[in-house]
Amino acid sequence: SKQMSDMGIYRRQRASVALSLSFLSLIFSITAFSSSYWCEGTRKVAKPFCTDQGKGTHCIRFNNSDVNNSNAVQYIWETGDDKFVDRKFHAGIWYSCEEIINGEGEKCRSFISLTPPADRGVLWLSIVAELLYIILLLTGATLMSIEVCYYNTIIDGLKLNAFAAIFTVLAGLFGMVAHMMYTTVFQMTVNLGPEDWRPQMWDYGWSYCLAWSSFTCCMAASVTTINRYTKTILEFKHKQKK
């Protein structure tokens, strides 16, 4: 009896670990999906003309203070790279935002509108796969919660465990495909997107890392769930033989 009680406690601990990983994966995936920091970088843009007497570094200055007089001769001292400034941007599944030079805030555009027409179908597939990933994760986590909190018999627990494992594995597959498709679409947009958007330098942001962390937690939860299911079956068969 004590051995059975210990096995029950051990099974419940493993169930709690899988449930925690599943909920962590769900939180990471929702945060990444709704954010716009999958990729970050800079783009060189021409400096705007200075509109006041300030000596800002992000605008082109004149030697003449009478900037409103069109007859005045004005000299631009900036040459070469001095005439350009690096504008920061960040992009996600839904939006791409750029900082406003010599101003506050950001200017955002729909990332779907920036994507080359030939690749928009792939982006939409990526969005659908991300949504399915979140839905399947939520379903798997719900089944794990029911198993941890409410099941009374081993058979009922095994049924819930099996379905939770199936949903979690499927979620991981959809998540991996979605992340890879978005990566491909973004790289194609960098090469073939609008001229006024293409970045000179870019790298993956914290949202992208969070998305793959979510996938890692999802896979860890699925492996833990399958392992728990297998061990419970073996323990159940061993008990039947005795």
pLDDT tens per residue across span 150-187: 766 667 777 888 899 999 999 999 999 999 999 999 99
CA 93 vs. chain centroid, Å, equals 8
CA dihedral over 196, 198, 199, 203, signed as positive or negative: positive
DSSP state of 17: H
* pTM greater than 0.85 (yes/no): no
Quickly count: other Cβ atoms within 10 Å of residue 94's Cβ. 15
pLDDT tens per residue across span 189-216: 999 988 888 888 899 999 999 999 999 9
Cα distance between residue 39 and residue 226, in whole Å: 34
With tokens 């009680």, the residue in question is 5
CATH topology of domain 1-35+115-241: Butyryl-CoA Dehydrogenase, subunit A; domain 3 (1.20.140)
